[in-house]
Chain A
Amino acid sequence: MNQISQKRTAEEMSKSHRDISVSQFFEKNRHLLGFDNKRKALMTTIKEAVDNSLDACEDAGILPEISVEIIDMQNDRFRVIVEDNGPGIIKVQIPKVFAKLLYGSKFHKMRQSRGQQGIGISASVMYAQLTTGRPAKITSTTSKKEKAHYYELHIDTQKNKPEIIKDETTDWKKDHGTRVELDLEASYQGGFQSVDEYLKETAIVNPHLTLIYTNPKAEQIIFPRATKDLPKEAKEIKPHPYGVELGILIKMIRSTESRTLQSFLTSEFSRVGSGTAKNICQNGSLLPNTKPKTMSREQVEQLMEGIKKTRLIAPPSNCLSPITSDLLEKGLKKEINAEFYTAVTRPTAVYRGNPFQIEIGIAYGGNQTAENQIRLIRFANRVPLLYQQGACAFTKSAIQTAWRNYGLSQSKGALPAGPVTCAIHISSVWVPYTSESKEALAHYPEIIKEIKLALQEAGRQLGSYVNKKKRIHAEGAKRDYIQKFIPHVSAALKELLKLKGVDEDKITKNLKAILETKRGKLDNVKFDPSKNVEYDPELAKIGKENNNDVGYEEPKDEKGQKKLSSFKN
């Protein structure tokens, strides 16, 4: 027995060491990409495809029209088809875009976009392949003149390389666009955190999008575009010197083509002119004509110091494309029939050299329940974040805000309670997520600070409304109380002065009139459900069905409505 347990030599052990491809890594760790369960896998797949389509359309200046179709193939298998009218993808790139992880156009750009890493859609392809063994079917065309390309692709996970199953051309009546078809193991359920909710929120914060959605029950829902204006184009910028890390700085210095430090600073960074560059060099005790390639690690560290000591203009905001407070408020109005709306857009701020901007919209009261915690709707670069609310910097900031000042109740360490929906949006050239699945925002202090400032600004407006409402309610209660005693005054005077019934009525009438003139006209703060003309009850219902028994939802609803109407009669 003892003989068997031979010790292994270092040489033998080293044989088992080898490269791990990203594909293999994510194949094992697919939860990091948002494929931890079947329901979420469906949502993530659609999300990645739609995000890409939207990015592509906006880059090309095309008003997006996207169709999403989910077909139930039985036995927990679904076919997902996402088709857009984007610019299309040139033939040689198709396999890499869809079947190679970490291949993308957005990773290196300092510019706001939905996708960032070049993982998303290829991860979906990999997941589909893993669960059904079926290839991804891609059709894409860039021009009317040419035929469309049709590919069937697998990923070679060992090498992280596309494996082409079919490569054909086909007739497609589209001028330009891309179509992705994936078969995957999934489950479909409406309600909270569903595909439905994701698509609806996406339509709300992307009012320029027309979305045609066919759910597994073969019901078609159309979200028509609300505006023909594309969002403000996000310009690509260079990094801002503030917050750039040493390692990155060293890398930039090694790869620069600039001959002098001064020209390196002016050409590689935003907001640095020659004067500022000289200041930075001076503050870092470096000569402006130092050759970047010859700089030592210590010198780069001096440069870091120099940057820290120099006052710089805030980064340009044209690299960002915020939703704008108007559209955010409009979106809330569509979905929630509330009595009060407000929206706030913060100025651009920076974390780690990356510009970002926070926007917040709040809807208060109306048909929302007051007992529960407030509802947070989170967006990052116009993408709704549906999972991991607890881990998100948005949530943390909302918890750290003192909502009691604004008329809501709040227990320690929790979100406030009240009839409130709060939509928060961050736009940034690089949104820092806690994981590759892009579900929650990382806790950078600079970001949390900005979110809190935005919440406070919106909160103050909310507070003044809530307090006004309270005041009016109190005043109304007082008037009701006073009115209660008016008939007694009339009755007493009638008896005291032996008046007639007519006179008694006149006293009552006059007293009420006196009360009205004395106390002024009372604002009506009663919720008027018909006041908000933007409200779309059909839209509001989407993604809110009970999670269970989706198929039986409607008859139940009808019953409820019948009860209500019979009650009215």
Chain B
Amino acid sequence: MRNQKMKKDKKSSAASKIKDIATAVYQKILKKKQPELSMPLRSLTNVQYDPKAGYFELLGKFKERTLTASTIKTFAQSLRLMTLSKELIEKDDIATKREAYYVSKNWADARFKEQVESDTVMDDIEAMLMVNREQIGFIPEEKGGDVAGKLVVIDKDTDTGKDIKIDCTKMGSGAYSVPSKVEDLRFETNAKFVLAIETAGMFQRLVKHNYWKKANCILVSMGGVPTRACRRFIRRLSDAKKLPVYVFTDGDPYGFGNIYRTLKVGSGNAAHINEYFCVPRAIFLGVTPNDIKEYKLPTHPLKEIDLKKIKDMLKNDPFVKHHKEWQKALKDMFQMKVRAEQQALAKWGLNYVIEKYLPQKIKNKKSWLP
């Protein structure tokens, strides 16, 4: 009950923030002064990596929307979307991001053409109010990822409100699916670590052979770049039980820069909420550029776009700029000009990854990347 009330407060505070902003705009217009909406710039150029806090923090850059040809449309759209948000909060209702996009179809000239547009404006409102999108009534369609292994998730029955215990060891060859809202989940576990895996294929293999039993761990399949829910789930889990999180992705710039970096410290795009959606305990297990050499993995040549991505990370990513180890690893890969997939380990036998690779890697701390 207390929890519920707190949530309510949080929500109504979002509503009053919306009202304050609208009032400010209105007052300016009454004084015949140009109104504007000011919001943090959501980009890598506006974050810094704070190793103590463990995530990307916003810097002070702002962008403004006002009566100019390039910003008037989003200015109007922001206000209209805020209207929808306030309505949702007041009625204690929710809308998916997709639904919000469809609501805009009533706005004539101000409607969104594509959902990316409405998503962007929504993220901007989030950043402006410094809240999480759930607090302003919007929820994503995306699910949070799959979980298997030594974990019991305690959720609530939506009808009765009673606790439900979900034992992730009893999913057979399937998995527990992380819900879009993870804030109220509780956990029971005696696992030693969490293994976050990039591809569903690798996850399947590890589940099939009960790797979690052997290694006494929890397996999470991220399915590419982890969603907010997935990140928050892993964060809450690792915080609650003080578990280390090992991350296992393909050995390519996308696996390093998009999947791992986003899981660990958040993204430039959502810097305003990174504080909640990062996993500072995450550690990169593999596949590292060094693994490619060490395990003589079959490789693919890096494309021009991959090389560009590496250069870009070295130059602009505050996280990479902070960690010499990562700089070295990326430079190595740039020289090798090749990448390797997780599944490339199958070259040494289908279960090589379970029997040799993962145990060796987990033991050998020196082979990790921060």
> Interface residues, chain A, CB within 8 Å of chain B?
478, 481-482, 484-486, 488-489, 491-493, 495-497, 499, 506-507, 510-511, 513-515, 517-518
Residues of B within 8 A of A499 (CB): 26
CB-CB contacts below 8 Å: B246-292 with A:
none
Residues of A within 8 A of B80 (CB): 488, 491-492
**Could you say which of A482, A491, A507 contacts B72, with CB atoms under 8 Å apart?**
A482
With A478-B69, A481-B69 already in contact, the answer to whether A511 and B79 are too (CB < 8 A) is no
Residues of A within 8 A of B23 (CB): 497
CB-CB contacts below 8 Å: B75-92 with A:
75-77, 79-80, 82-83, 86-87
**Is A485 a contact of B86 with CB atoms below 8 Å?**
no
**Could you say which of B34, B67, B68, B76 contacts A492, with CB atoms under 8 Å apart?**
B76
With A493-B22, A497-B19 already in contact, the answer to whether A485 and B30 are too (CB < 8 A) is no
Residue of A nearest to B79 (CB): A492
Q: How far is the CB of B173 from chain A (nearest CB, A)?
A: 51
**Could you say which of A486, A488, A510, A513 contacts B107, with CB atoms under 8 Å apart?**
A488
Query: Is B185 positioned at the interface, with any CB of A under 8 Å from its CB?
Result: no
Total chain B interface residues with beta-carbon distance under 8 A: 30
CB-CB contacts below 8 Å: B6-56 with A:
18-19, 22-23, 25-26, 29-30, 32-35
Assembly CA distance A203 to B120 (angstroms) = 68
**Is B76 a contact of A485 with CB atoms below 8 Å?**
yes
Residues of A within 8 A of B29 (CB): 493, 507, 510-511, 514
Residues of B within 8 A of A489 (CB): 35, 75-76, 79
With A497-B22, A497-B23 already in contact, the answer to whether A515 and B82 are too (CB < 8 A) is no
**Is B110 a contact of A514 with CB atoms below 8 Å?**
no
In the A-B complex, the 3 residue pairs with the smallest Cβ-Cβ separation, listed nearest first, are A492-B79, A488-B76, A496-B22
Residue of A nearest to B25 (CB): A493
**Could you say which of B26, B32, B87, B110 contacts A485, with CB atoms under 8 Å apart?**
B110
Assembly CA distance A488 to B87 (angstroms) = 17
Residues of B within 8 A of A517 (CB): 32
With A488-B79, A511-B29, A513-B32 already in contact, the answer to whether A518 and B109 are too (CB < 8 A) is no
Known: A482-B69, A489-B76, A510-B32. 5 other contacts (CB 8 A): A488-B77, A488-B109, A489-B75, A493-B29, A496-B82
**Is A485 a contact of B73 with CB atoms below 8 Å?**
yes
**Is B30 a contact of A510 with CB atoms below 8 Å?**
yes
**Is A495 a contact of B83 with CB atoms below 8 Å?**
yes
Residues of A within 8 A of B32 (CB): 510, 513-514, 517
**Is A496 a contact of B34 with CB atoms below 8 Å?**
no
CB-CB contacts below 8 Å: B94-136 with A:
107-110
Identify which of A484, A499, A506 gathers the most chain B CB atoms within 10 Å of its CB: A484
**Is B110 a contact of A496 with CB atoms below 8 Å?**
no
Assembly CA distance A1 to B83 (angstroms) = 115
**Is A496 a contact of B67 with CB atoms below 8 Å?**
no
> Interface residues, chain B, CB within 8 Å of chain A?
18-19, 22-23, 25-26, 29-30, 32-35, 67-69, 72-73, 75-77, 79-80, 82-83, 86-87, 107-110
**Is A518 a contact of B76 with CB atoms below 8 Å?**
no
| 12 A-B pairs (CB sep. < 8 Å) | A484-B109, A485-B75, A485-B110, A492-B79, A492-B80, A492-B83, A496-B22, A507-B29, A511-B35, A514-B34, A514-B35, A518-B34
Residue of A nearest to B18 (CB): A496
With A488-B109, A510-B30 already in contact, the answer to whether A482 and B83 are too (CB < 8 A) is no
Residue of B nearest to A512 (CB): B67
**Could you say which of B72, B76, B83 contacts A496, with CB atoms under 8 Å apart?**
B83
Residues of B within 8 A of A511 (CB): 29, 35, 67
**Could you say which of B26, B69, B109 contacts A497, with CB atoms under 8 Å apart?**
B26
Q: How far is the CB of A365 from chain B (nearest CB, A)?
A: 26
**Could you say which of A491, A506, A514 contacts B67, with CB atoms under 8 Å apart?**
A514
Residues of B within 8 A of A484 (CB): 109
Q: How far is the CB of B44 from chain A (nearest CB, A)?
A: 30
Residues of B within 8 A of A506 (CB): 30
**Is A514 a contact of B22 with CB atoms below 8 Å?**
no
Residues of B within 8 A of A515 (CB): 67
Identify which of A478, A486, A495 gathers the most chain B CB atoms within 10 Å of its CB: A495
Residues of B within 8 A of A514 (CB): 29, 32-35, 67
Assembly CA distance A410 to B76 (angstroms) = 43
Residues of A within 8 A of B26 (CB): 493, 497, 499, 507
**Is B72 a contact of A485 with CB atoms below 8 Å?**
yes
Assembly CA distance A493 to B24 (angstroms) = 11
With A488-B107, A489-B76, A492-B79 already in contact, the answer to whether A482 and B68 are too (CB < 8 A) is yes
Residues of A within 8 A of B67 (CB): 482, 511, 514-515, 518
Residue of B nearest to A477 (CB): B69
Residues of A within 8 A of B68 (CB): 482
Assembly CA distance A332 to B242 (angstroms) = 89
Residues of B within 8 A of A495 (CB): 83, 87
Residues of A within 8 A of B76 (CB): 485-486, 488-489, 492
Residues of B within 8 A of A478 (CB): 69
Assembly CA distance A485 to B83 (angstroms) = 16
Q: How far is the CB of B36 from chain A (nearest CB, A)?
A: 11
Assembly CA distance A496 to B90 (angstroms) = 12
Residue of B nearest to A503 (CB): B26
Residue of A nearest to B77 (CB): A488
Residues of B within 8 A of A488 (CB): 76-77, 79-80, 107-110
Residue of A nearest to B81 (CB): A492
Residue of A nearest to B87 (CB): A495
Assembly CA distance A251 to B285 (angstroms) = 104
Residues of A within 8 A of B22 (CB): 492-493, 496-497
Residue of A nearest to B78 (CB): A492
Q: How far is the CB of B235 from chain A (nearest CB, A)?
A: 34
Residues of B within 8 A of A510 (CB): 29-30, 32
Residues of A within 8 A of B109 (CB): 484-485, 488
Assembly CA distance A507 to B73 (angstroms) = 16
Identify which of B18, B34, B67, B77 gathers the most chain A CB atoms within 10 Å of its CB: B67
Assembly CA distance A362 to B106 (angstroms) = 51
Residue of A nearest to B108 (CB): A488
Q: How far is the CB of B88 from chain A (nearest CB, A)?
A: 13
Q: How far is the CB of B41 from chain A (nearest CB, A)?
A: 22
Residues of B within 8 A of A485 (CB): 72-73, 75-76, 109-110
Residues of A within 8 A of B77 (CB): 488
Q: How far is the CB of B76 from chain A (nearest CB, A)?
A: 4
Q: How far is the CB of A518 from chain B (nearest CB, A)?
A: 6
With A488-B79, A507-B29, A510-B30 already in contact, the answer to whether A496 and B86 are too (CB < 8 A) is yes
**Is A481 a contact of B72 with CB atoms below 8 Å?**
yes
**Is B30 a contact of A496 with CB atoms below 8 Å?**
no
Assembly CA distance A515 to B79 (angstroms) = 18
Residues of A within 8 A of B18 (CB): 496
Residue of B nearest to A508 (CB): B29
Assembly CA distance A515 to B29 (angstroms) = 11
Identify which of B29, B83, B86 gathers the most chain A CB atoms within 10 Å of its CB: B29
Assembly CA distance A507 to B32 (angstroms) = 9
Assembly CA distance A496 to B76 (angstroms) = 12
Residues of A within 8 A of B25 (CB): 493
**Is B79 a contact of A493 with CB atoms below 8 Å?**
yes
Assembly CA distance A497 to B67 (angstroms) = 20
Q: How far is the CB of A412 from chain B (nearest CB, A)?
A: 36
Residues of B within 8 A of A493 (CB): 22, 25-26, 29, 79
**Is B69 a contact of A496 with CB atoms below 8 Å?**
no
Residue of B nearest to A511 (CB): B29
Q: How far is the CB of B211 from chain A (nearest CB, A)?
A: 53
Assembly CA distance A30 to B33 (angstroms) = 79
Q: How far is the CB of B200 from chain A (nearest CB, A)?
A: 42
**Is A496 a contact of B75 with CB atoms below 8 Å?**
no
Residues of A within 8 A of B72 (CB): 481-482, 485-486
Q: How far is the CB of B77 from chain A (nearest CB, A)?
A: 8
Assembly CA distance A478 to B110 (angstroms) = 16
Assembly CA distance A495 to B35 (angstroms) = 17
